[in-house]
Amino acid sequence: MSNRISLTRYLVEQQRDHGHIPSQLRLLLEVVARACKSISQAVNKGALGGVLGSAGSENVQGEVQKKLDIIANEVLIEANEWGGHLAAMASEEMDGIYVVPNRYPQGEYLLLFDPLDGSSNIDVNVSIGTIFSVLKKPEGSSGVDEKDFLQPGSQQVAAGYCVYGPQTTLVLTVGDGVAMFTLDREQGSFVLTQENVRIPEDTKEFAINMSNMRHWDAPVKRYIDECLAGKDGPRGKDFNMRWIASMVADVHRILTRGGIFMYPWDKREPEKAGKLRLMYEANPMAMLVEQAGGAATNARQRILDLQPTKLHERVSVVLGSKNEVERVTAYHLQG
Ligand code: AHM
Ligand code: MG
């Protein structure tokens, strides 16, 4: 037991040995982890805690909010607003940014989150999660506004998610590889359970919502057709499929055993670049995946290079095992 490394110790040692984590950032990440613990408690109580079902409201994107979407959003804001490490926050569940109130000191970081990802899985007891991304407020800007958030994902100083599944696991990068921490409920702390997470470059497993097949673009159809053709097709191997409909859970599987995840643009709503959100979902997941040796594109370009033009921007997402992501991207660039 004595060689167990807590999240706190991991962060302190990263700071001491590699100088990666300024103390304000360490504080921020610890507070986010604490908020995730509290969300995990609420998720676990389920019907007993009265947290299931719809809240009867819609978010800025016109999606029906679940009670847990709102609870998780509030937990993250309340936990983070007073510590002095943040200037402002932005969330998938809020129309505009949330500036740290005047009564608290303002820090130099910006926190973005999808408080409860995979909302359609809440009531059916399937894994869900919280995704977060940390940026630095641009130097020289006094005050803070929405445009301070519009930085490419390559500027993230930290990113991660917490998956609420059979175990609650926090997955984190501060730009020096990916580490996983499992929540020890008896001790109430996150314990390091895997360091230097690596995604295999090749895979035989893909994740996509197949019910959208008729709406796909030709290169996506080509890639999936080739996977489905298995041993007898051009790929010469059989593929397996998974689709959890919680990006956190699908990405967690990919970080654990490889695979490719796709939520591409499709013809259902052609004016939208995709379903998933660039700032709250794609950027943090792309940073984690790249830090683990994988790749992440919008089917044409590296996600982390995209310049956001608005907070709630959507994007097409292809991420996971490097060689497969490069193949899908090449099919798009050829076509
Ligand atoms: P949410 O943030 O409102 O929960 O939506 C995002 C989720 C992702 O977690 C998941 O990959 C995708 O939506 C599933 O979408 P679909 O139900 O269209 O398959
Ligand atoms: Mg989401």
| Averages of pLDDT over each 10 residues, the chain, 335 residues | 86 86 94 98 91 83 84 96 96 95 95 96 96 95 92 98 98 96 96 98 97 98 98 98 98 98 97 97 98 98 98 98 98 92
Query: Coil, strand or helix: which one is 116?
Result: strand
Task: Please indicate whether residue 246, judged by its CB atom, sits closer than 6 Å to ligand 1.
Answer: yes
Ligand 1 lined by 114 (C-beta under 6 Å) = yes
Closest to 263 (Cα-Cα) out of 254, 274, 279: 274
Tell whether ligand 1 has an atom less than 6 A from the beta carbon of residue 164. no
Q: What is residue 33's three-state secondary structure?
A: helix
Residue in 129, 35, 161 with CA at minimum distance from that of residue 86: 35
Quote the ligand 2 centre to 140 CA distance (angstroms): 32
30 lines ligand 1 (CB under 6 A): no
Q: Does 266 sit in the ligand 1 pocket, CB within 6 Å?
A: no
Edge-to-edge strand order for the sheet containing 205-207? 240-241, 205-207, 260-263, 317-320, 295-297
Give me ligand 2 centre to Cα 22, in Å: 29
127 lines ligand 1 (CB under 6 A): no
Structure tokens at 118: 């995979």
> Does the beta carbon of 120 sit less than 6 angstroms from any atom of ligand 1?
yes
Asked if residues 85 and 27 have their Cβ atoms less than 8 Å apart, the reply is yes
Give residue 198 CA to ligand 1 midpoint distance, Å: 25
Task: State how far the Cα of 5 lies from the Cα of 34, in Å rounded to an integer.
Answer: 16
- pLDDT at residue 330, as a whole number: 98
For ligand 1, say whether the CB of 69 is within 6 Å of any of its atoms: no
Structural domains of the chain ordered from first start: 7-194 (3.30.540.10), 205-333 (3.40.190.80)
Burial of 55 (0-12, 13-18, 19+ CB in 10 A): middle
Enumerate residues 6+ apart whose C-beta is below 8 A from 135: 109, 110, 112, 149, 151, 155, 156, 157
| Protein residues near ligand 2, an ion, with CB under 5 A | 114, 117
Helix (H, G, I), strand (E, B) or coil at 14: helix
Q: Which of 116, 120, 241, 312 to mutate to test the pocket of ligand 1 (most atoms within 8 A of CB)?
A: 120
Give, using CA atoms, the residue closest to atom 15 of ligand 1. Answer: 245
Residue 288 φ/ψ region, left for φ over 0, alpha for ψ in the -120 to 50 degree band, beta for the rest: alpha
pLDDT at 39: 97
